[in-house]
Amino acid sequence: MTGTKRSSGILLHPTSLPGRYGIGDLGAGAYRFVDWLAAHGQSIWQVLPLGPTSYGDSPYQTLSAFAGNSNLISLDRLVEEGLLRKSDLADTPPFPSARVDYGWIIPYHNQKLALAYRRFRADAETALKRDFESFVSENKFWLDDFALFIALKRGHKLRSWTEWEADLRRRDPAALASAREASADQMDLERFRQWLFQRQWASLRNHAQVKGIRLIGDLPIFVAHDSADVWAHQHEYSLDEAGQPTVIAGVPPDYFSPTGQRWGNPLYRWAVKKAGGYHWWIERIRALLRLVDSIRIDHFRGFEAYWEIPASEPTAIKGRWVEGPGAPLFQAIKAALGDLPIIAEDLGVITPAVEKLRDDFGLPGMKVLHFAWSDPANPFLPHNHPVYCIVYTGTHDNNTTRGWWENEVDERTRAFVKDYLGQDIQDIVWTLARVGMRSAAADFVMPMQDVLGLGSGARMNTPGVSTGNWTWRIQERDLDNPGRDTLLHITRLYQRHPDQQNQQ
């Protein structure tokens, strides 16, 4: 959670880190990035959701709300631990370094992790095996269901669980017992992969803490329909007898989309969640807080009221607002876990009721500078920023700042930016970064693409576009980009450097 001390940081998902295995991972590239942050005055590393992605590769549509993305496991660190040998990686293909080719890297990583699993079973030291067994025991709430889900999904050629046999789809106890017996080794492989992810992430987080870097994680409010969470807890979602959603999530039509957004996620049966003491939500928050220091909750406004769309509708137009769980959910989480290190993604159409829910629990909101330039009353303009918020140039859903300025900003907006700042705009990227850095807000975060001054080709995600997203990566040489010196300079200039905070 943001504090009263001034700080700043970078938004970069681990998949975007450099490395030779086709995707960023939790190895040397991640450690070097943490060191880079600390060396250039930063104290925040913000990431996207860390779960295992599926069709479309979106970290916001994952196979589990609890599991980690095993493609992030560092193969080099497995060599260091003796679970792989250098010779095992001699066949590494010439993966592209600037983009993630998921269809190419996933089979390769799965093959190497399966090899590491066999070696672990045959040769691992007793201490490693005890650590694995402890992990399995401590994570039974979600891990067993997830391991079986993945084993069954692979056995059904990755088809959605609604296309499985009826007894498995409906979780008939006898069918599940038989499936567990038949899939025991596959389930153990998946537990092993999750253990490796958690183990490597814990080591990276410890390094970040030593370097004074806070990790901000990301939690989507809704879960994917084709996920272990929905399959294992069907009674907690609005589904029909075949397991298909009857109503789905999205947002209504607005200035940006005349038909709204039809996300397709199944909606929670909040009365059922409440009757169970919000146990699943408490465990979800608890699990993520083992990985990060604070959590950005995506689409926070859905806790106050959410847009319910009949699943039969092709667009989001014919939806309705439905009251969300509101304060009781956060009271239950706070009672179980203590103070809430949560950041509310309060973008879009935000009502006074949403603001009250946010403020009643002392949750900081977000201010995005790309959205600020309409009129002097715009809450995203720096003179309207409260101390208790996080300011961004843009988010993962925005264009890069350079791409935004070159391709999306009209002349009226350009004129307003110039008038507000009282200067001609020579370099929009660092102009906007300075605006965010000098804000009264406690925290400022900018995407790594902006530090590098990149255009639209480096965009991470374009909402509403189903392909070509989530693939951007930095190169090793990018950490030597001159932007790092400007970043350090303005961090000191606007008193966000950790050394300056320690002197106060």
pLDDT in tens, 194-241: 999 999 999 999 999 999 999 999 999 999 999 999 999 999 999 999
The answer to whether 442 and 7 have CB atoms below 8 angstroms apart is: yes
Strand partners, 477: none
In this predicted structure, the answer to whether residue 2 has a pLDDT above a threshold of 60 is no
Count CA atoms within 13 Å of residue 175 on its CB side.
11
The kind and range of the H/E element at 110 are: helix 102-123
Nearest to 37 by CA among 17, 55, 62, 22: 17
Give the residue range(s) of CATH 3.20.20.80 domains in the chain.
7-232+364-405+418-503
Helices assigned H by DSSP within 27-74: 28-39
The answer to whether 35 and 211 have CB atoms below 8 angstroms apart is: yes
CA 444 – CA 367 distance, rounded (Å) = 9
Nearest to 348 by CA among 314, 319, 325, 371: 371
Distances from the Cα of 409 to the Cαs of 143, 341, 434, 435, 465, in angstroms? 47, 35, 19, 17, 20
- The confidence band for 256, taking pLDDT boundaries of 50, 70 and 90, is low
Residues 93-114: tens digit of each pLDDT: 999 999 999 999 999 999 999 9
Torsion of CA 344, 404, 424, 488, to 10 degrees: 60
In this predicted structure, the answer to whether residue 3 has a pLDDT above a threshold of 60 is no
CATH 2.60.120.10 at 7-232+364-405+418-503, yes or no: no
Task: Output the CA angle 271-275-281, nearest 5 degrees.
Answer: 85
**What is the structure's pLDDT at 501?**
79
The answer to whether 469 and 457 have CB atoms below 8 angstroms apart is: no
**What is the structure's pLDDT at 503?**
63
Count CA atoms within 13 Å of residue 387 on its CB side.
4
Treating both helix axes as pointing N-terminal to C-terminal, what angle do 102-123 and 126-138 enclose, rounded to 10 degrees?
A: 120
Query: Cα 382 from chain centroid?
Result: 26
Stronger pLDDT, 503 or 329, i.e. the higher one: 329
CA 96 – CA 21 distance, rounded (Å) = 9
**What is the structure's pLDDT at 32?**
98
Residues 360-389: tens digit of each pLDDT: 999 999 999 999 999 999 999 999 999 999
In this predicted structure, the answer to whether residue 504 has a pLDDT above a threshold of 80 is no
The whole-number average pLDDT for the span 152-165 is 97
Nearest to 102 by CA among 192, 163, 31, 24: 24
| E strand residue ranges, 33-165 | 44-46
Distances from the Cα of 369 to the Cαs of 393, 422, 426, in angstroms? 5, 17, 17
The answer for 51, left when phi > 0, alpha when psi is -120 to 50, beta otherwise, is: beta
The answer to whether 460 and 395 have CB atoms below 8 angstroms apart is: no
Torsion of CA 117, 123, 124, 125, to 10 degrees: 170
Residues 413-456: tens digit of each pLDDT: 999 999 999 999 999 999 999 999 999 999 999 999 999 999 99
pTM for the structure as a whole: 0.97
**What is the structure's pLDDT at 348?**
84
The answer to whether 55 and 5 have CB atoms below 8 angstroms apart is: no
Residues 159-205: tens digit of each pLDDT: 999 999 999 999 999 999 999 999 999 999 999 999 999 999 999 99
Cα four-point dihedral sign 491, 496, 502, 504: positive
Residues 324-354: tens digit of each pLDDT: 999 999 999 999 999 999 999 999 889 999 9
Active site residues: 298, 345, 397
In this predicted structure, the answer to whether residue 466 has a pLDDT above a threshold of 90 is no
Q: Is 440 helix (H, G, I), strand (E, B) or coil?
A: coil
Tokens of 293: 């220091």
**What is the structure's pLDDT at 257?**
80
Q: What is the strand order of the sheet 365-368 is part of? A: 342-344, 294-298, 214-220, 44-46, 7-11, 443-447, 389-392, 365-368
Nearest to 24 by CA among 11, 15, 12, 13: 15
**What is the structure's pLDDT at 1?**
44
By CB atoms closer than 10 A (0-12, 13-18, 19+), residue 135 is middle
**What is the structure's pLDDT at 464?**
78
Q: End-to-end CA distance of the chain, in Å?
A: 20
